[in-house]
Chain A
Amino acid sequence: MEKIEFNYPEAKRLITKRAHVGVVGSGDMEVLLEPNSEEGAHVFITTSVNGFGDAWRSVFDRFFSKFDGAVRIYINDAGATPGSVLLRLEQAVEVIEQ
């Protein structure tokens, strides 16, 4: 079990909706994405697989190179692959921007 946090201060666009997607099951993860009351985005990850901080960092760097919403993202991970992480994040964005 490992906890990881990232900040993306440049993500300032106002977001008003929240999304809850995914499930905590083998190779998958749950994402809660909600508006941040302050400027910038914060990511809080709890993962069952230790030692992948750099991989998480590169997934979120890639995600926030396209997404600029001021959000708080909570992730409960059970070993999702980087590809699945991006799919779940895209799904959460689809929900808040519907």
Chain B
Amino acid sequence: MVSTLHVHDLILLRTESAVISTQSDSACPCLNPNQRPWVVVRRGRISGGLIPVGVRGAQRHERCAGFTRLSDVAEALRPDQLRLRLAEDSRRLLPAFRTLSYLESRLVGLDMSWGPGGSLGYELASGIPAVHADSDLDLILFAPKQLDITEAQNLWRMISSAPGKVDALAETPCCGFSLEEFATTSHRKILLRTSEGRVLGSNPWSLSNGEDN
């Protein structure tokens, strides 16, 4: 059922002991044994059958990084699937959820797959409250084909007109990047988040060393 996983996917593990901590002191405190073990796929290379995952605790400082095995994944949800899930009634008035429903109405014709990440994605997947009154909306946009600058600017203009702050990350087959930075910067290079780490580059759809062409 779970054949391919990508960064930002929320996954439900079969057991909370399925997270292998990257910290030798096993200080990964976060998975609450009373809650179902949902974790997020981190950016990084999947190798040796190990998937890099992030664990979200109740507090920001309780986040930690680890790995899990594909065979321990019970269920996986992509951001565009999470978008279609409804928050609990009592949570829908939180600014970040209102911003999401505003964008749902404005991005109807968008020829891209998109959805929430961050605390919203986590809450929509798990049902565990994670969004706060001051949470931004982390938005993931999948851009397998190159966006030209005008398209990106129009998209960012629409997204940034939302009532709350939106942190929009575009994902290409090579990397992730900030839509705001791509659309508004006057510099040639932007920050590209690759599975090998972060670099400055000019083309998020083609990572090469020939940046200065």
Report A's interface with B, CB cutoff 8 A: 21-23, 25-28, 49, 51, 78, 81, 83-84, 87-88, 90-91, 95
- Determine, out of B27-35, B79-87, B92-100, B196-204, the stretch whose residues face the partner at the interface: B196-204
Interface residues of B in 32-62 (CB under 8 A from A): 60-61
* C-alpha gap A87/B180 in the complex (Å): 18
Q: Does B16 contact A (CB under 8 A)?
A: no
Q: How far is the CB of A97 from chain B (nearest CB, A)?
A: 13
Contact in complex: A88, B191 (CB < 8 Å): yes
Partner of A87, one of B136, B138, B187, B199: B199
What are 8 A-B pairs at a CB distance below 8 A? Answer: A23-B180, A25-B178, A26-B136, A26-B138, A28-B178, A51-B61, A83-B197, A90-B200
Contact in complex: A83, B181 (CB < 8 Å): no
Contact in complex: B189, A91 (CB < 8 Å): yes
Overall SS of chain B's interface: strand
Residue of B61, B178, B191 with most chain A CB atoms under a 10 A cut-off? B191
Of all chain A residues, the one with the shortest Cβ separation from B192 is: A87
Q: Does B115 contact A (CB under 8 A)?
A: no
Q: Does B118 contact A (CB under 8 A)?
A: yes
Chain A residues with CB under 8 A of B181 = 22-23, 25
Contact in complex: B187, A21 (CB < 8 Å): yes
Tell me how many residues of B have a C-beta within 8 Å of chain A. 20
Chain A residues with CB under 8 A of B189 = 91
Q: Does B167 contact A (CB under 8 A)?
A: yes
* C-alpha gap A49/B136 in the complex (Å): 15
Q: How far is the CB of A59 from chain B (nearest CB, A)?
A: 14
Contact in complex: B169, A91 (CB < 8 Å): no
Contact in complex: A25, B169 (CB < 8 Å): yes
Partner of B198, one of A23, A51, A87, A95: A87
Of all chain B residues, the one with the shortest Cβ separation from A92 is: B187
Partner of A22, one of B61, B191, B197, B199: B191
Of all chain A residues, the one with the shortest Cβ separation from B136 is: A26
Query: Known contacts A26-B167, A49-B60, A83-B197; is A95 also within 8 Å of B136 by CB?
Result: no
Contact in complex: A95, B118 (CB < 8 Å): no
Partner of B178, one of A23, A90, A95: A23
Q: How far is the CB of A43 from chain B (nearest CB, A)?
A: 20
Q: How far is the CB of A76 from chain B (nearest CB, A)?
A: 13
Chain A residues with CB under 8 A of B60 = 49
* C-alpha gap A90/B181 in the complex (Å): 16
Residue of B61, B168, B178, B193 with most chain A CB atoms under a 10 A cut-off? B178
